[in-house]
């Protein structure tokens, strides 16, 4: 299987054609080997235009959604970023290409361990993953310039707002279990501005500041 060719095709047909233009983002998607973040049986589908199961009842998002969330974070390469819902580690690997350092929290230990091993295996050096309830954030590492939540959030977890730095951006799918709205919150001079991007569908965020 020519995975590099599949990556090129994914970038052309799923990202560029739908308006993702940032060269650095496109380069990250051409580089990161998404097929390694799914099981061997699913690897041939690793560049398809849909979410894929990653075990423990969880999924890796469709590449376009990962790109859209990454674009919404508006990274310039200097940021410290937190991802809540690390899952397979794929989004972390993409972010690691585009910012200074990235921290991922995953509530399912098996997935979090797998993600750590995988990230090290593909040579990512600026990402750290821990097991835990990401709705509590990662206080020891706060503040973060950017925070992304990749699970359906019924509400905005308060600790994440608190751990977001000045001029920081928080991107999350806001809404109930059946569908959400991809939302960008921006801290500006102490106030929070919000912008909606599009509808989406994520697995639920489960934790103290989300669903019980």
Among 11, 73, 200, 203, binds ligand SAH (CB under 6 A): 203
Using the rule CB under 6 A, give the single segment among 16-24, 72-80, 131-139, 189-197 that binds ligand SAH.
131-139
As beta bridge partners, residue 206 has: 211
> Taking CB under 6 A as the rule, does residue 58 contact ligand SAH?
yes
Six-digit token string for 82 = 């937190």
3-state secondary structure of 42: coil
In sequence order, the 6+-apart residues with CB closer than 8 A to the CB of 176 are 152, 154
Burial class (CB in 10 A: 0-12, 13-18, 19+), 8: middle
Nearer to ligand SAH, 8 or 133 (CB): 133
17 tagged catalytic: no
- Smaller CB separation from ligand SAH, 101 or 133: 133
The alpha-helical segments, DSSP class H, found in the chain are 3-10, 23-31, 63-72, 90-98, 109-121, 158-162
DSSP string for residues in 47-62: TSSS-EEEETTEEEPP
Number of residues that bind ligand SAH (CB under 6 A): 26
Among residues 39, 48, 61, 201, the one annotated as catalytic is 61
Q: Does 147 participate in binding ligand SAH (rule CB under 6 A)?
A: no
Phi, psi of 199 (to 5 degrees): -75, 155
CB of 81 or CB of 151, closer to ligand SAH: 151
Pattern 60-99, ligand SAH, x by CB under 6 A = xx----------------------xx-xx-xx--------
CA gap 114, 193 in Å, rounded: 36
Residue 133 interacts with ligand SAH (CB under 6 A): yes or no: yes
- Catalytic site positions: 61
Q: Which residues bind ligand SAH (CB under 6 A)?
A: 54, 58-61, 84-85, 87-88, 90-91, 105-108, 111, 133-135, 150-151, 203, 205-207, 210
């Amino acid at each position: 299987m020519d995975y590099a060719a599949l990556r090129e095709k994914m970038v052309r047909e799923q990202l560029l054609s739908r308006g993702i233009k940032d060269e650095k983002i496109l380069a990250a998607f051409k580089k990161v080997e998404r097929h390694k973040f799914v099981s061997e049986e699913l690897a041939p589908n690793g560049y398809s235009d849909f979410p894929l199961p990653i075990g423990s009842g969880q999924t890796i998002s469709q590449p376009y959604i990962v790109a859209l969330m990454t674009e919404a974070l508006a990274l310039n390469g200097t940021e410290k970023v937190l991802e809540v819902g690390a899952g397979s580690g794929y989004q972390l690997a993409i972010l690691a290409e585009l910012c200074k350092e990235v921290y991922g929290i995953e509530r399912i230990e098996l997935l979090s361990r797998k993600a750590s091993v995988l990230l090290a295996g593909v040579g990512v050096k600026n990402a750290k993953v821990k097991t835990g309830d990401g709705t509590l954030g990662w206080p020891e590492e706060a503040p973060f310039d950017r925070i992304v939540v990749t699970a359906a959030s019924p509400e905005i977890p308060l600790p994440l707002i608190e751990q977001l730095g000045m001029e920081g951006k928080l991107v999350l799918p806001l809404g109930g279990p059946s569908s959400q709205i991809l939302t960008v919150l921006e801290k500006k001079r102490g106030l929070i501005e919000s912008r909606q991007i599009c509808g989406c569908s994520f697995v639920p965020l489960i934790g103290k500041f989300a669903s019980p």
